[in-house]
């Protein structure tokens, strides 16, 4: 049985231990030690990494009560071990921050049902509908608990002492409880700081509906807040530079560019419609179905086909764009061949996909046999 040093001292960064066995975990060597400060994955907190003698610890897991240190090479005897402290402390900030944020939401009648500590951000799932959550109030309550720099007690509680604790949730295993007096008391076997102030701060990033009557909250704590703020500021400056605007005026500049873009798009669509009508008029100089290949891509081919069908004629129009042959088949309303069926037969030659109804259909495929596909469709009208 491994003596779990992280339970009594989560700040222990290095130690010496004896390898008492080697295991195999998913094809990788895993060392079992007589004592360890490496935290095995559990409760939403990832397993620790670091070094063990001359080996790298890639992960730490628990299997059947054993703490397994997954290493890149086998180890033996007495070894010096070191925790990846930067990563561990980040996990301590995120994990304890989650306790404080969950406690805040719990007071707002939104209990936490699950927690995930990711590489970039963290999430908690709440048993409450999104529309009833006050995100900023919960964030402010959690940060108030941090900035009061309250003591954190993490130890085993049993008997009468345990019965007096206002536990936020029932324990899954063990007697260990993490307590911040007046704020939270939760069963937990993870690593936590000695004082809430070490979390630094909490930022709720966004929320979304997650299942029926539930919500998922994305957040970060401590140094991750600083990193994301830096990234957001850099992105803001780049966007402001691209729009030739001051960062404070970015929203107005983006709105202006969007409005101008929409106006240009409408103008372009109008010009394309006029051009398609001219193209259609030129193609309708001869009687019968119009079978043609046009330039300017799929959107223009569609506009030409629709312009022709609006004049009471059947159109089998093709165009090549981005290495694909695009087919647009259209006919007037009323009796006539089913364009969807006709398109399906033509696309079988092109090895393509598409669909449509009796009066209009479109799709794309390999352009190598485009002439054959058009000839087949024309021959069936």
The arithmetic mean of pLDDT across residues 340-350, rounded, is: 94
| Residue 237 within a domain | no
Average pLDDT over residues 344-362: 94
3-state SS string for the chain: CCEEHHHHCCCCCEEEEEEEEEEEECCEEEEEECEECCCCCECCECCCCEEECCEEEEEEEEECCEEEEEECCCCCCEEEEEECHHHHHHHHHHHHHHHHHHHHHHHCCCCEEEEEECCCCEEEEECCCHHHCCHHHHHHHHHHHHHCCCECEEEECCHHHHHCCCCCCCCCCCCEEEEECCCEEEECCCCCCCEHHHHCCEEEEEEEECCCCCEEEEEEECHHHHHHHHHHHHHHHHHHHHCCCCHHHHHHHHHHHHHHHHHHHHHHHHHHHHHHHHHHHHHCCCCCCEEEECCCHHHHHHHHHHHHHCCCCCEEEEEEECCEEEEEEECCCCCCCCHHHHHHHHHHHHCCEEEECCCEEEEEECHHHHHHHHHHHHHCC
pLDDT, averaged across the chain: 94
Span 222-243, mean pLDDT?
Answer: 93
The answer to whether residues 49 and 171 belong to one domain is no
- 99 and 198 co-located in one domain: yes
Residue 306 confidence (pLDDT) above 90: yes
Do 61 and 101 have their domain in common?
Answer: no
Whether the per-residue pLDDT at 272 is higher than 90: the answer is: no
Same domain, 103 and 214: yes
Look up the domain containing 129 and give its range: 89-229
Contact (CB, 8 A) for 36 and 3:
yes
Highest mean pLDDT among 140-144, 172-176, 187-191, 288-292: 140-144
**What does the pLDDT look like over 26-41, one tens digit per residue?**
999 999 999 999 999 9
Please identify which residue in the block is written with the tokens 């703490």. Answer: 67
Considering the domain architecture, whether residues 116 and 219 belong to the same structural domain is answered as yes
d(CA 260, CA 246): 19
What pTM did the predictor assign?
Answer: 0.74
**1 pLDDT band (50/70/90 cuts)?**
confident
State the pLDDT confidence band at 13, using cuts at 50, 70 and 90: very high
CATH number of the CATH domain containing 57: 2.40.30.130
Would 258 be classed as within a structural domain?
no
* pLDDT reading at 86 higher than 90: yes
Query: In the sheet where 112-117 sits, what is the strand order?
Result: 112-117, 122-126, 215-221, 202-209
Model pLDDT for residues 200-209, shown as the tens digit of each residue: 999 999 999 9
Report yes or no on 250 lying in a domain.
Answer: no
106 and 166 in one domain? yes
Tally of domains within the chain: 3
The verdict on residue 158 lying in a domain is yes
Domain boundary at 24, 59, 83, which? 83
pLDDT > 90: percent of the chain:
81
208, 135: one domain: yes
Please, which pLDDT band fits residue 243 given cuts at 50, 70 and 90? confident
Task: Say yes or no: 325 and 193 in one domain.
Answer: no
pLDDT in tens, 94-106: 999 999 999 999 9
Last residue of a domain, one of 68, 83, 98: 83
- pLDDT bin (cut points 50, 70, 90) of residue 381 is confident
CATH code of 107's domain: 3.30.980.10
Q: How much is the pLDDT for 240? A: 86
* pLDDT-above-70 percentage for the chain: 100
Average pLDDT over residues 317-345: 93
Residues 115 and 224 in one domain: yes
Residue 234 in this model has a pLDDT that exceeds 90: yes
Establish if 39 belongs to a structural domain: yes
């Amino acid at each position: 049985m491994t003596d779990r040093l992280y339970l009594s001292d989560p700040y222990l960064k290095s130690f010496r231990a004896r390898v008492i066995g080697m295991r195999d975990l998913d094809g990788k060597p895993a060392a079992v030690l007589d004592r360890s400060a490496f935290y095995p994955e559990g409760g939403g907190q990832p397993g620790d990494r670091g070094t063990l003698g001359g080996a790298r610890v890639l992960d730490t897991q628990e299997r059947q009560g054993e703490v397994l240190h997954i290493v890149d090479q086998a180890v033996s005897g007495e070894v010096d071990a070191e925790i990846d402290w930067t990563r561990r402390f980040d996990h301590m900030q995120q994990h304890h921050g989650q306790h404080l944020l969950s406690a805040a939401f719990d007071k707002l009648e939104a209990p936490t049902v699950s927690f995930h500590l990711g590489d970039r951000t963290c999430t908690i799932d709440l048993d409450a509908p999104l529309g009833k959550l006050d995100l900023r109030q919960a964030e402010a309550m959690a940060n108030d608990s941090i900035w009061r720099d309250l003591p954190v007690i993490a130890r085993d509680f049993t008997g009468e002492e345990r019965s007096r604790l206002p536990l936020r949730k029932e324990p899954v295993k063990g007697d260990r409880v993490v307590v911040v007096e007046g704020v939270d008391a939760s069963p937990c076997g993870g690593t936590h700081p000695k004082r809430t102030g070490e979390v630094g701060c909490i930022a709720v990033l966004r929320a979304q509906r997650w299942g029926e009557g539930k919500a998922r909250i994305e957040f970060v704590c401590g140094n991750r807040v600083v990193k994301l703020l830096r990234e957001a500021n850099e992105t803001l400056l780049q966007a402001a530079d691209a729009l030739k605007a001051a960062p404070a005026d970015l929203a107005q500049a983006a709105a202006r560019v969007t409005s101008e873009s929409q106006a240009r798009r409408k103008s372009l669509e109008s010009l394309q419609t006029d051009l398609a009508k001219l193209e259609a008029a030129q193609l309708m100089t001869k009687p019968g179905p119009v079978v043609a290949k046009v330039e300017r891509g799929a959107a223009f081919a569609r506009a030409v086909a629709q312009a022709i069908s609006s004049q009471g004629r059947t159109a089998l129009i093709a165009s090549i764009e981005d290495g694909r042959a695009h087919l647009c088949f259209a006919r007037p309303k009323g009796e006539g061949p089913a364009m969807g069926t006709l398109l399906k037969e033509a696309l079988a030659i092109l090895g393509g996909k598409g669909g449509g109804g009796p009066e209009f259909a479109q799709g794309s495929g390999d352009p190598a046999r485009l002439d054959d596909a058009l000839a087949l469709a024309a021959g069936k009208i």
